[in-house]
Amino acid sequence: MMRQAGRFLPQYRALRARHDFLTLCKTPSLAAEVTAQPVDILGVDAAIVFADILLVPEAMGVALRFARGDGPQLEPPVRSSADLDKLSRPDVARSLGYVFETVAEVRRALGTRVPVIGFAGTPWTVAAYLVEGGAAKSFHHLLGWSHRDPAGLARLLARIAEVTHDYLLGQIEAGAQALQLFDTWGGLLDPERFRTLALPALLRALEGLSGRVPLIYYGRGTSHLLPLLRELPIEVLSVDWRLPLDVVRAQIGPRQVLQGNLDPAALLAPPVQIERAVRALVAAGSGGPHIINLGHGMLPMTPVEHACAFVEAAKTHGRCSVPARAR
């Protein structure tokens, strides 16, 4: 489940009342504890390491703050080629080594119970936060730069891609058994500009990783990019809820596993309806291998019993409908 650790779990909130978010991320014993919470409480089939996509720009020398209610803030924002000089080229073992320690600690704690998924943002999505200085509505700084000086923005994306590559590799070496790339803002681009601007940096970040562990790409609002996404060097394409899975499958062909794509708001309905939604989801995904998942992050107000109902329905209706070739 996307964003399964944290936000909606009372056990997470209790820890969070005592430590701020970045302290949790940077203290491997605490981060490992949060990572394991949804495995114990919800019974999910995988743990996703507790960290954040914005730890990468922080490691590049930009100050990161999570202000209550305002979302993340990055200071100073990077808005031109000249600003690139402000970014450092971090040694990830030193600046992000705490995430690698968390991965190793979670692996030790979970043993063979469930696999551990590592993750990063795609260079484009990390750039979106770095250029805007945080969460944004119109993304006019990012998109303005992309039209004014695409070569300059491509240099920023390449810088992020270098760090992301080392960061992903470090997570594999620490024991991550799959990696998920979050492209929350990939859908801002039209296909041609996705191909020329976002894609080269994404491919650089993934260079040499294919075949080491399964790679999952998550795109939000990227239905118009499916002809490009079907060519990515990944095993799993994770999609949001905007298109039914059978429609996605018809567009991407048989090669990739599909992951998704229940609307997170569906978990606000009563459990009987959640079960019905999961049955429909399984039917829509039955044209190929499918990992049952949400189409975006858990909403913070989701009742824990509803999240449990989702997992239970997935286990009841999921396994038996997996096509033989995907087992």
Residues that bind ligand CP3 (CB under 6 A): 2-7, 16, 21, 48, 50-54, 66, 71-72, 119, 135, 182, 184, 297
What DSSP string describes 65-120?
EEETTTEEEEES---SGGGGGG-----HHHHSHHHHHHHHHHHHHHTTSS-EEEEE
- Compute the least distance from the CB of residue 21 to ligand CP3, in Å: 4
Name the active-site residue from 12, 79, 107, 129: 129
CB nearer to ligand CP3: pick between 217 and 288: 217
Distance CA 59, CA 158 (A): 15
Contacts of 229 (CB under 8 A, 6+ apart): 217, 219, 222, 237, 252
Distance CA 213, CA 126 (A): 22
- Compute the least distance from the CB of residue 183 to ligand CP3, in Å: 8
| 275: three-class secondary structure by DSSP | helix
Name the active-site residue from 12, 52, 217, 249: 52
Name the active-site residue from 16, 193, 195, 279: 16
Which residue of this chain has its Cβ atom nearest to ligand CP3 in the complex? 6
Backbone angles phi, psi at 204, to 5 degrees: -65, -45
- Compute the least distance from the CB of residue 263 to ligand CP3, in Å: 14
Task: Examine the residue annotation and report whether 204 is marked as an active-site residue of this protein.
Answer: no
CB nearer to ligand CP3: pick between 52 and 58: 52
CB nearer to ligand CP3: pick between 141 and 288: 141
Task: Examine the residue annotation and report whether 217 is marked as an active-site residue of this protein.
Answer: no
- Compute the least distance from the CB of residue 85 to ligand CP3, in Å: 25
Quote the distance between the C-alpha of residue 40 and its chain's center: 21
CB nearer to ligand CP3: pick between 186 and 288: 186
Pick the closest to residue 294 from 280, 276, 281, 312 (CA basis): 281
- Compute the least distance from the CB of residue 156 to ligand CP3, in Å: 18
What own/partner pairs with CB < 8 Å and gap ≥ 24 does 63-68 have? 64/22, 66/20, 66/21, 66/22
Distance CA 110, CA 233 (A): 29
Name the active-site residue from 3, 195, 242, 279: 3
Whole-angstrom CA distances from 189 to 139, 146, 198, 219, 247 are 11, 10, 8, 12, 21
Residue at 52: amino acid letter: D
CB nearer to ligand CP3: pick between 218 and 288: 218
CB nearer to ligand CP3: pick between 54 and 143: 54
- Compute the least distance from the CB of residue 60 to ligand CP3, in Å: 15
| 322: three-class secondary structure by DSSP | coil
- Number of Cβ within 10 Å of residue 158's Cβ equals 15
Task: Examine the residue annotation and report whether 89 is marked as an active-site residue of this protein.
Answer: no
Task: Examine the residue annotation and report whether 129 is marked as an active-site residue of this protein.
Answer: yes
Task: Examine the residue annotation and report whether 113 is marked as an active-site residue of this protein.
Answer: no
- Compute the least distance from the CB of residue 308 to ligand CP3, in Å: 16
| 48: three-class secondary structure by DSSP | strand
CB nearer to ligand CP3: pick between 156 and 288: 156
| 8: three-class secondary structure by DSSP | coil
By annotation, the residues acting in catalysis are 3, 7, 16, 52, 129
